[in-house]
Amino acid sequence: MTPYTENRPWGSFTVLDEGDGFKVKRISVHPGQKLSLQYHHHRSEHWTVVQGEATVTLGDSITILKVNESVYIPLKEKHALANDGNSLMQLIEVQLGDYLGEDDIVRLEDRYGRV
Confidence band for 1, pLDDT divided at 50, 70 and 90: confident
The reported pLDDT for the residue numbered 50 is 98
Handedness of CA 91, 8, 14, 86 (dihedral sign): negative
pTM: predicted TM-score of the whole model, two decimal places: 0.94
Q: Give the whole-angstrom CA distance, residue 29 versus residue 35.
A: 8
Q: Give the whole-angstrom CA distance, residue 87 versus residue 32.
A: 9
In this prediction, residues 3-7 reach a mean pLDDT of 96
In this prediction, residues 19-33 reach a mean pLDDT of 98
Element at 44 (helix H, strand E): strand 43-51
Q: Which residues of 96-109 are buried (b: 16+ CB within 10 A; e: fewer)?
A: ebeebeeebeeeee
Q: pLDDT tens, 30-44?
A: 999 999 999 999 999
The reported pLDDT for the residue numbered 13 is 98
Confidence band for 115, pLDDT divided at 50, 70 and 90: confident
Q: pLDDT tens, 46-82?
A: 999 999 999 999 999 999 999 999 999 999 999 999 9
In this prediction, what percent of the chain has a pLDDT beyond 70? 100
Q: Give the whole-angstrom CA distance, residue 26 versus residue 90.
A: 7
> Looking at residue 52, what DSSP letter applies?
S
